[in-house]
Amino acid sequence: MNNLFEIAEACLHNPSIDEKLVLTHHAKSLLDEGQLDFTSCQPVQAINQVKFPQKPILQAPRYMPKRNLTSQDGVIAFFHAIAHVEFMAIYLAWDLLYRFRGLPGQFYQDWLCVADEEAQHFELLRQHLRRFNVEYGDLLAHGGLWDHAVETAEDLLARLALVPRCMEARGLDVTPGIIAKFTAKGDEAGIAILTRILTDEVKHVERGSYWFKSICGQQGLEPETQYRSLISQYYRGGKPKGPFNRDMRKMAGFSDAELDWLEAG
């Protein structure tokens, strides 16, 4: 199998974690070797055909227990939650490049690279959990992460605004503070994983910003106005709550005007 969209469909429609990881890395290797086929031949399947593993059991966010990093159980719960976020990020990257066709080749290359890095993050976290004799899926997980994909399945600009430029961008705000907590604990392994994720997430959000602005330009839309409109339309509660990491968000393609609007409350 060397067609990007066939691999994407296999990743999205097969619940096996390990097969998904293998296929993701296989696709990236084909890309690096110049052997990946970008021909779009088969129709896009509805988003309700996407399949997830039986575990972890998913719960609404309000039912998720609070995590306290002062105990080992709290640390385990934290890393399990982050592993789930990164696992879902693999799906989100694959679905973005699978669902929206007719875009420049660089768009598909960019999001395949994102999917591959998200898979690497997940593998690091799964191995870290195994040091505690815990497998991904042993604990409950947040059930709302896929909702943004379902809600924006027909709107590429909304998907870019809601996933890389909202959901993933939130990691730029909160992760530095979490790294500081693990630094105070002297947890070198945890610090290394979180630092790697944060470094890559800046690039992922930047790609979201780049393609959001590029596609707005192609459609004759003003990006900052469109961003405000889409967040107000799709984000539950109107818009995300701060504080926001202005420096990292600007590195990832946010404008001062967008950040001023987000911070205005």
In eight-state DSSP terms, residue 71 is S
For 234-251, how does the pLDDT look when each residue is reduced to its tens digit (9 = 90+)? 998 888 999 999 999 999
Please list, in sequence order, all residues whose beta carbon lies within 8 angstroms of the beta carbon of residue 232, skipping any fewer than 6 positions away.
238, 239
> Pick from 67, 219, 48, 217: which is nearest to 142 by CA?
67
Lowest mean pLDDT among 61-65, 145-149, 198-202: 61-65
Tokens standing for residue 249: 């968000």
SS3 category, 155: coil
Query: Which helix (H) or strand (E) is 58 found in, with range?
Result: strand 58-59
End-to-end CA distance of the chain: 49
> What does the pLDDT read at residue 170?
96
Position 67 scores a pLDDT of 76
What confidence tens digit (pLDDT) does each residue in 146-182 have?
Answer: 999 999 999 999 999 999 999 999 999 999 999 999 9
How far lies 215's CA from each of 143, 155, 219, 236, 246, in Å? 30, 12, 6, 24, 24
Handedness of CA 145, 113, 169, 66 (dihedral sign): positive
Percent of the chain with pLDDT over 70: 100
Q: Which amino acid is at 63?
A: Y
Report residue 262 as tokens. Answer: 């987000």
